[in-house]
Amino acid sequence: MDGNSGQVEMTDPIEQSKGGIYGHVLRRGIHLGLSFIPFIYFEFGEKCAEMVGLNLPQFVSAIVLMIIVAEAIRLKFSITIFGQREYEAHQVSALGWGAIGIGLAVLMVPTEEYLWPIVLSLSLGDPLMGELRRKGFEDKQVMIFSTIAIAIIWLACWNFFSTPLWLVPLMAPLCMISEWPRLRWIDDNATMVLIPLCAILLLDPFIGLL
């Protein structure tokens, strides 16, 4: 780590993962599993909220707050679980950041045309970039291939969920760039959600996206 810049050095995800290759595979599997969150939210969210006597936004907020409390307890005792990386014993985990970011996206843009592509760009795009780097691809190649993959995600969401087509050339590179910073204080699981989310919220007053 670079203590002056706040940047985190690129590390081997397998060597850093608790459990080695098996922990790394579990971590990737959980990441891919995030893809189901929009489906669960839109299909079962209301029923789950009613079961605990809350409305849907309250239910989502309660889940995010529980994750924050769980992360605080984990950090208090410097705990890492199977699949987490060693440095996550002393900072908010990638999974925690991803859950918080997705929770905020659900609360701010709870519509299929935006929630689906934002979540899928994270759940599929981030592991793709990580594996390309691990296989030794150069930065330029990683940027090109991941931008194409994320563009396909947004195109698919245009087809299935009526996501505005003109957002594809804007959001594909933006989502890719959002993964790039290696910051100590916020994980790319959060930036890949929050930066595209901010773009949609900032554009909305001018062109009525929401």
Closest among 190, 114, 202 to 153, alpha carbons compared: 114
Domain boundaries along the sequence of the chain: 14-207
Q: Which residues pair with 186 in a beta bridge?
A: none
Neighbours of 208 (CB within 10 A): 7
Q: Vertex 182, ends 87 and 123: CA angle to 5°?
A: 85
CA–CA distance, 182 with 13 (Å, rounded to integer): 13
CA–CA distance, 204 with 210 (Å, rounded to integer): 6
Q: What is the pLDDT along the chain (210 residues), one digit of tens a residue?
A: 444 445 555 555 676 777 788 888 998 999 999 999 999 999 999 999 999 999 999 999 999 999 999 999 999 999 888 888 888 888 999 999 999 999 999 999 999 999 999 999 999 999 999 999 989 999 999 999 999 999 999 999 999 999 999 999 999 999 999 998 877 788 999 999 999 999 999 999 998 887
Closest among 18, 41, 21, 5 to 131, alpha carbons compared: 21
3-class secondary structure, 7: strand
CB distance 193 to 119 below 8 Å? yes
Neighbours of 192 (CB within 10 A): 29
pTM for the model stands at 0.91
CB distance 146 to 121 below 8 Å? no
